[in-house]
Every structure is written in structure tokens, then in C-alpha cells.
């Protein structure tokens, strides 16, 4: 067997998998559309391999075989995501309203796949050239049927908005300036300790090639932290208080471990409280105290701790601008934002009477009402048959409310 024969067999295996998956029942067309796009990628690679073999060009054959292997690594997780998006455990009712929200934010051509993940964290695939305009949002498999965690999709949509608006370009210079300023103001001695060969000239810290290896990782980490923070503020502004509930439900009280390119969970909660006050969004009681402030991991080197502290500080110096940026972008879209008054009305008029709500109340309002309802005690005292299974009953009412919302949006009913 030759390398090209191996590659040919691998492509046939991928295409065979895709053909079998296309026989699956798709709850909405976007899953099949994505699968069609992936199929076209591997059909093209198969043709390219055939042409290369016909020419007998060994270098070209090797190049095509390398590309085939790379694309299998790249797209197999995507194929798995597409398959899981058809699983009946997913809350399909949220797809329509979430798609409408996505299109208001990202454009009318946007296509959305909502699926389950085997990581205990919401996840989104970064834009893929062959899947332009597709947004993939994955929720932990244990929560994929739970509508109360849907507000976390706002965070994942924030990643797509960050990419579309190319916010890295705007924020990276500000973050680098903050890092350099911090070093020169009060961290110069430590910096020279870890990087003794760097210049003492402030002007060279941001420009010298010899210095970039020192601060380059810090600026990259700070930029990633800024993106994660932006997505938090974006989800908060988009969904309101229920975003804070969903985040705390999933992640509190947090873990000791943290990556360098993520703000600590304590910092995220602290900054979300700041943003909530600026956005005039109610913060759940005790939210600030649901996570602990952990020290940097002991197994990190002193240099890694120092560099991470620089990235953390750079984020905090610019967090106000990031909060304002999320607010400005959402305002620009004109999207409907949640209302405390509407959420309160849904609780009083519908949820307390154990019936789904109606009247185009909005996805975020329904979810805010659900979290507000959970916080009230003895509201179903007169319905003992429901109190025995209160959580599942509430989930059904919420999902039915979202389903009615989608029906009303698609085919308004005249009173």
C-alpha cells in the first residue's frame, strides 16, 4: 500500500460516514446544510487526489495526502457535533428563537446548530472558512435539554461577534500598552529578574524583537482574557439576570485550576457585577460570594505566575472599555433586550398558574421569569401533584412557552 492509497481509503471512510448520517432525521435544515458543506470538502479532496495520481507528481501527491489528513483531524469533531445536534435530548424548541437572535446579531445569512458536548462547559467552534455563516453552540450533555442554561449561548454568540467585528485589532494595542506601562511603573525589577537581557529603554519594550518573546505571550493571554470577558458582558446584556443565574449554576464555586489565557472565575464574577450595575441589571443575592479567590496554581513557575499577573492586570485596566464595547455593539443591532417588568408579569400571569405564556414576550424574558420563579417558595402550594416534580414541570412550561413564542413569530395570530 502507498500513502496515496491510504489517503484514498480514509476519504472513502469519511464520505461513507457522511452518507450514512445524511439518512438521519434532521430536526432543522441547518444540520443537513452543514453536513453537505463538509461532504463537498472531502469530495473536492478526493478529486484532487485523483488528479495528482494521474499526473504522477510525487510531491503533489504528498501535499494532497497531507491536506487530507489535516482536514480529517479538523472536520471529524464537526461531524460529531452535527450528529449530536440531531439527538432528541436537545431542547429543539429553543432553536428558532435562538436563530432569530443570532441573525439579528450576525446577519440574515446566519445558520445555527445547537448541540450537546462531552465537556462540562459551553463551547463554540471558531469560524471555519468552508462553513462560513454557520454558528455552532454546544452545551454540556447533562444540560442539553435544560432551557435554563440557554442564556450561556449569549456568551458563545459573543465569540462570533468578536470575530466578525475583529475586536482583537482594536483591543490588542491597548492591552499591550497596559502591560508595558505596568512593567515600567512598578514591575521593572521583577521583569529584569526574569528577562535580564532586555533593554531598560521604555521605547524598546513594545518594539524590540528581543523583548517581544517576553511580553508577546502576556499580550496574547490578556487578549484572550479580554475576549472571554467581552463574551460574558455580551451574554449578560443580551439575557439579563438569567445569564448570571445560568453561569453560577454551571460553574460555581469554581475550581483551583485555571488556564493562563482565562480570567479566574472570581474575576469573571467580580467584573460581571460591575457590568450589571452599569447595565442596570439585577444581580442575584449572594452572587459575588458564590466563588472563591484562589491563588495562582502552585505548580506554575515564578515566571509564569509573574507573566499571568501582568495579563490579569492588563485586563482589569481595560475592563470598563470592554463593558462599554459589548453594550455599544448590542445597541447597534437594535435587538430586543429583557425587561424585569415583563419577566415579573410572566411569573404572575402564567407560571404561577402552571400554564405556558404567550404574546411574543421574548426568549430572554421567558428565561428570566423561569429563574425568578425558582427563587420563590411555596408558589405551587395549591398544586401538590406538581410540587413532587417541580423542576421537570417548570422545564416543560418553559419549553412550551418558547415553542409558542416561535409559533407566534412565524405565524402571528390575530386576536
Global pTM exceeds 0.85: yes
Identify the pLDDT of residue 206: 52
Identify the pLDDT of residue 64: 96
Residues in contact with 288: Cβ distance below 8 Å, sequence separation at least 6, in sequence order: 269, 270, 273
**Segment 230-238 mean pLDDT:** 98
Longest CA–CA separation in the chain, Å:
80
Q: Three-state SS for 115?
A: strand
| DSSP line for 33-57 | HHHHHHHHHHHHHHHHHHHHHHHT-
Are 202 and 180 in contact by the 8 Å Cβ rule? The answer is: yes
Tens of pLDDT, residues 115-171: 998 888 887 776 677 898 999 999 999 998 999 999 999 999 999 999 999 999 999
* Average pLDDT taken over every residue of the chain: 91
| Angle ∠(88,90,96) on CA atoms, nearest 5 | 110
- Least confident window among 39-48, 181-190, 231-240: 181-190
Tens of pLDDT, residues 22-37: 998 899 999 999 999 9
Sign of the C-alpha dihedral, residues 152, 127, 30, 80? negative
Tens of pLDDT, residues 336-384: 899 999 999 999 999 998 899 999 899 999 999 999 998 776 667 677 7
Q: Is the pLDDT of residue 295 over 70?
A: yes
Are 268 and 294 in contact by the 8 Å Cβ rule? The answer is: no
Identify the pLDDT of residue 196: 83
Residue whose C-alpha cell reads 479580554 in the numeric block: 226
**Segment 222-228 mean pLDDT:** 97
Q: Look up residue 200 and give its DSSP letter.
A: S
Q: What residue spans define the domains of the chain?
A: 1-83, 87-146, 165-333, 340-410
Q: Is the pLDDT of residue 412 over 80?
A: no
Q: Residue 38 — pLDDT band, cuts 50, 70, 90?
A: very high
Amino acid at each position: 500500500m502507498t500513502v496515496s492509497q491510504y489517503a484514498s481509503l480514509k476519504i472513502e471512510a469519511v464520505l461513507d460516514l457522511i452518507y450514512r448520517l445524511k439518512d438521519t432525521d434532521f430536526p432543522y435544515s441547518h444540520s443537513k446544510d452543514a453536513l453537505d458543506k463538509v461532504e463537498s470538502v472531502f469530495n473536492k479532496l478526493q478529486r484532487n487526489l485523483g488528479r495528482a495520481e494521474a499526473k504522477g507528481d510525487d510531491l503533489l501527491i504528498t501535499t494532497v495526502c497531507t491536506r487530507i489528513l489535516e482536514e480529517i483531524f479538523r472536520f471529524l469533531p464537526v461531524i460529531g457535533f452535527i450528529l449530536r445536534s440531531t439527538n432528541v435530548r436537545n431542547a429543539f424548541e429553543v432553536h428558532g428563537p435562538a436563530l432569530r437572535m443570532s441573525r439579528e446579531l450576525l446577519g440574515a445569512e446566519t445558520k445555527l446548530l445547537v448541540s450537546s458536548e462531552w465537556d462540562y462547559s459551553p463551547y463554540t467552534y471558531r469560524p471555519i472558512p468552508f462553513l462560513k455563516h454557520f454558528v455552532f453552540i454546544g452545551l454540556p450533555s447533562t444540560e442539553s435539554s435544560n432551557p435554563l442554561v440557554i442564556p450561556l449561548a449569549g456568551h458563545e454568540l459573543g465569540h462570533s461577534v468578536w470575530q466578525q467585528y475583529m475586536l482583537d485589532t482594536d483591543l490588542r494595542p491597548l492591552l499591550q500598552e497596559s502591560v508595558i506601562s505596568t512593567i515600567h511603573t512598578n514591575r521593572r525589577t521583577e521583569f529584569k529578574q526574569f528577562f535580564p537581557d532586555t533593554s531598560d529603554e521604555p521605547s524598546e519594550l513594545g518594539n524590540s524583537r528581543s523583548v517581544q518573546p517576553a511580553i508577546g505571550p502576556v499580550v496574547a493571554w490578556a487578549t484572550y482574557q479580554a475576549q472571554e470577558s467581552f463574551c460574558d458582558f455580551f451574554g449578560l446584556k443580551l439575557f439579563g439576570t438569567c445569564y448570571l443565574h445560568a453561569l453560577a449554576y454551571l460553574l460555581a464555586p469554581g475550581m483551583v485550576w485555571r488556564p493562563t489565557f482565562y480570567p479566574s472565575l472570581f474575576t469573571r464574577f467580580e467584573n460581571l457585577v460591575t457590568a450589571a450595575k452599569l447595565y442596570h441589571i439585577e444581580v442575584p443575592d449572594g452572587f459575588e460570594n458564590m466563588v472563591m479567590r484562589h491563588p495562582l496554581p502552585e505548580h506554575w513557575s515564578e515566571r509564569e505566575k509573574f507573566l499571568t499577573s501582568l495579563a490579569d492586570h492588563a485586563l482589569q485596566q481595560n475592563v470598563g472599555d470592554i463593558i462599554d464595547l459589548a453594550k455599544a455593539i448590542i445597541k447597534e443591532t437594535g435587538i430586543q433586550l429583557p425587561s424585569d417588568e415583563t419577566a415579573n408579569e410572566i411569573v404572575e400571569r402564567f407560571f404561577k398558574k402552571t400554564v405556558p405564556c404567550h404574546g411574543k414576550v421574548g426568549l430572554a424574558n421567558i428565561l428570566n421569569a423561569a429563574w425568578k420563579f425558582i427563587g420563590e417558595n411555596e408558589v405551587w402550594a395549591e398544586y401538590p401533584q406538581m410540587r413532587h416534580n417541580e423542576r421537570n414541570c417548570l422545564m416543560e412550561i418553559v419549553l412550551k412557552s418558547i415553542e409558542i413564542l416561535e409559533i407566534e413569530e412565524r405565524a402571528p395570530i390575530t386576536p
